[in-house]
Amino acid sequence: MSRMKIWALHLLIIAFLQTPVCWSVTVSSSRPKVEVHEHTDAVLSCEFRTEKDQNPRIEWKKKGKGVTFVYFDDKFSGSYAGRAKIDGATLTLHSVTQKDSGEYRCEVTASQDHINLGETTVSLNVLVSSCLALSTIFLNLEIPLLSKTPSPLVFIFDLTKLRKVALSGK
């Protein structure tokens, strides 16, 4: 190699070593798909790493027809208030229902980092247990009268109402 090429290579190496490495906030989920049964807890994982920012802003949003804020400005909103908690950036929803099924997005904003926004999506599928699936079926019982009436008396039970009574204890 000629002296000029060696000199140019040295300059390139020195320039590369002196260039600062730009990192950004990185966000991921160890469980991007979560399936749980209704009335149990759902843990939506969100892990992040930042370049500099020690106190990044964490937000959780649920995607649907629009975007619903779940966790914003260090508090839970709407139906999530009182039945959710956050640990780091991981979200736990208590006593989930089918209405909670959907796509959730964890966003981490690290304002001190070069690239300051990262996000990941977690899909939540809330399964209906088999005994609750029967709640939409009507049960017809025919009980013959002990009197001389020729036609039986028919009782129709709506198991949805019975379930509500059983769950509330009333």
Closest by alpha carbon to 91, among 105, 110, 111, 109? Answer: 105
Residues 158, 141: Cα–Cα separation, whole Å = 12
Residues 138, 7: Cα–Cα separation, whole Å = 87
Chain segment 58-114, per-residue pLDDT in tens: 999 999 888 899 999 999 999 999 999 999 999 999 999 999 999 999 999 999 888
- Cα dihedral 128, 130, 135, 136 sign: positive
Least confident segment among 22-36, 56-70, 155-169? 155-169
Q: What helix, strand, coil percent values describe the chain, rounded to 5?
A: 25, 40, 35
